[in-house]
């Protein structure tokens, strides 16, 4: 975890009615509770180092 920095947990969840919606994906290795960081071209886990590349989106004309 980061030393001396606060984690903005409100960015990971959203409340809809009486339900909590998780906005980020979970790490498939670590399981629920560990979110993947979203970068421009990949998702990565800071705990175990799991890396998943994003699929390039095709532009429709």
In the structure encoding, which two tokens stand for residue 17, read together? 């009615």
What b-and-e string marks burial along 2-29, b requiring 16 or more CB atoms within 10 Å of the CB? eeeeeeeeeeeeeeeeeeeeeeeeebee
2: confidence class by pLDDT, cuts 50, 70, 90:
low
pLDDT attached to residue 1: 55
Q: Convert 26-53 into a string of H (helix), E (strand) and C (coil).
A: EECCCEEEEECEECCCEEECCCCCCEEE
pTM over cut 0.75:
no
Q: Is 46 annotated as a binding residue?
A: no
Q: What is the pLDDT of residues 19-40, one digit of tens each?
A: 999 999 999 999 988 999 999 9
48 is in an annotated binding site: yes
For the chain, percent of residues with pLDDT exceeding 90: 62
Q: What is the CA radius of gyration of the chain?
A: 14
**45 known ligand binder:** yes
């Amino acid at each position: 975890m980061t030393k001396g920095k606060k984690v903005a947990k409100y960015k990971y969840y959203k409340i809809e009615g009486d339900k909590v919606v998780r906005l980020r994906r979970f790490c498939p290795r670590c399981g629920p509770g560990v979110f993947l960081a979203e970068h421009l071209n990949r998702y990565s886990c800071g705990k175990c180092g799991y890396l998943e590349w994003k699929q390039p989106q095709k532009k429709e004309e």
